[in-house]
A = this chain, B = another copy of it.
Amino acid sequence: MNDAAIGIFDSGMGGLTVMRALMARLPNERFLYLGDTARLPYGTKSADTVTRYAVQAAAALVRRRIKLLVVACNTASGVALPALHEAFAPLAVIDVIVPGAQAALAASPSGPIAVIATEGTVTAGAYPRAIHALAPGIAVSQQACPLFVPLAEEGLVDGEIVELVAHRYLDGLLAAKPTCLVLGCTHYPALKTVIGRIAGDGVTLVDSAATAAMAVEQRLRDDELGTQATAPSHRFLVTDAPDRFARVGQIFLGRPIDPATVELVDLQ
């Protein structure tokens, strides 16, 4: 048993959807979330830079004594896992790509599977690699959707603009008749209504937050790291604009964020 917090990091606020799934599944745990808001987004940056940022973010969490690290950012999951394992072993590290791949295969065991993600995740080929590691022969297609993050961050999640942008990204992908569409960025579930409408009833949308939470629960059990604490706590570290984080973040977390629990930190 271990009462230390579970550390979660993301480039900004999108990872709060993963924290939300974790809090639902593990209501007694303590959580410490880090959003690298001063350097977001990660999705358009190079693998080297994202890896450096991810290691700095994880180090800040490790300094505050966490018992497990959740990489809630798809882009960082796609490029930085080897560096994170090397830098912080034997700390348990759970990412969102492998659980996303598992969920996709559960929904669509024989494919084809379509993936939408950031440029960084698509370029790294992270989802095709994770899916093919589990099911080598399956057809996987992918598409970067760089406007989805700024649309979600502006709160533009439905209506004509979002419809047009979504058609632009999805029409080519849907031509391959996928049976499952992976939302490979933590911001994308905010646009789920429009994406689902365009994809149609025959396509299952997969969001890795819930599956990642299951993977964390399993790992806590395997390593006997579960808490006995009766007072769960939720704290937040950000690298820029804590007030904005508390205000906008509650949309992603699905509950209010007390500004007193958000601390500004410098990772450099």
Contacts and interface: CB of A to CB of B under 8 A. Distances in A.
Interface of A: 37-39, 44-46, 48-49, 146-147, 149-151, 153-154, 156, 160-161, 164-165, 168, 239-241, 244, 268
Contact of A161 (B45, B49, B146, B168): B168
Contact of A49 (B38, B149, B164, B168): B38
A223 B192 CA distance: 58
B154 A240 contact: no
Contacts of A44: 153
Contacts of A156: 147
Contacts of A147: 147, 150-151, 154, 156
Contacts of A268: 268
A268 B49 CA distance: 12
Contacts of A240: 45-46, 48-49
Contacts of A48: 240
Given A38-B39, A45-B241, A240-B46, A161 B165 contact: yes
The count of identical subunits is 2
Nearest to A266: B52
A93 B94 CA distance: 47
Contacts of A151: 147
A220 to B, nearest CB: 35
Given A146-B154, A150-B147, A46 B161 contact: no
A39 B39 CA distance: 5
B150 A160 contact: no
A46 B266 CA distance: 14
Given A147-B154, A164-B164, A45 B49 contact: no
A257 to B, nearest CB: 17
Cβ-closest 8 pairs across A and B = A268-B268, A150-B150, A46-B241, A49-B240, A161-B164, A38-B49, A39-B39, A46-B240
Q: Which of A37, A147, A149, A153 has the most CB of B within 10 A?
A: A147
A235 B153 CA distance: 35
B146 A150 contact: yes
A161 B148 CA distance: 13
Contacts of A161: 161, 164-165, 168
A258 to B, nearest CB: 20
